[in-house]
Amino acid sequence: MIENIKMIFDFVGGYSPLILFFISIKLLWHTHNLLTYYTYGFFLDMIFNTIIKGIFKQPRPLEDPEIFKLALKNNKRFMFKDGIPYDIFGMPSGHTQSVFYSTVFIYLSLKNVKILIGYILLSLLTMYHRVFFEQHTVVQVCVGVLPGTIFAIFMYYMATQKIMGKICGKKDDNAPL
């Protein structure tokens, strides 16, 4: 029983960015402009996270310091772990950044407190999961909130500016009636 709960916790915490991504697509399905900006923003946020990690170059908690130094010396930031490419940099947490991008964008788009509470609970579960399984430190997870939030606000602003730019009155041409 306990093992099943741990397995569910690991699955939900590990895949929460994708879970929120697909829920967000469903929620924004009929608002095409917001859906487009959300989707592009989600993928740009991942690229943004990779850039930030490259700037900080802070190891994950489980990284062997000697292997980490050797990887930096040889300009390797991705290694294979269990046959999967794995980023050795941990600052900031990409999972946290992604879930907070989704949380903030959806709240700004829908202004629904019930949905916000669900998103925040899943986001907090993700943060706890990343620290519990020693993928990130508490600081790395907390710092991940900031770029995700800022990028969501930026993308929402861009989406609403595009909408506002399309809605304008026709200039009077002073033609006779």
* Contacting residues for 14 by C-beta, under 8 A, at least 6 apart: 95, 129
Q: Is the dihedral of CA 40, 42, 46, 51 positive or negative?
A: positive
Q: What is the pLDDT of residue 147?
A: 95
- Provide, rounded to the nearest whole percent, the portion of the chain with pLDDT above 70: 80
Average per-residue pLDDT for the chain: 84
Could you read off the pLDDT of 6-19 as tens digits, one per residue? 888 888 888 899 99
Confidence of residue 41 (pLDDT cuts 50, 70, 90): very high
Question: What tokens does 102 get?
Answer: 């989704």
Confidence of residue 5 (pLDDT cuts 50, 70, 90): confident
Contact yes or no for 130/96 (Cβ under 8 A): yes
Angle between helices 2-28 and 32-56 in degrees, nearest 10? 130
Contact yes or no for 50/175 (Cβ under 8 A): no
Q: What is the pLDDT of residue 86?
A: 58
Q: What is the DSSP letter of 135?
A: S
d(C-alpha 173, C-alpha 177), whole Å: 11
Q: What is the SS3 assignment for 84?
A: strand
pTM of the model: 0.80
Domain ranges of the chain: 2-58+91-161
User: For residue 86, which of 53, 114, 56, 126 has the smallest C-alpha distance?
Assistant: 53
Confidence of residue 157 (pLDDT cuts 50, 70, 90): very high
Reply yes or no on whether the pLDDT at 27 is more than 60: yes
Ranking 13-22, 46-55, 71-80 by mean pLDDT, the lowest is: 71-80
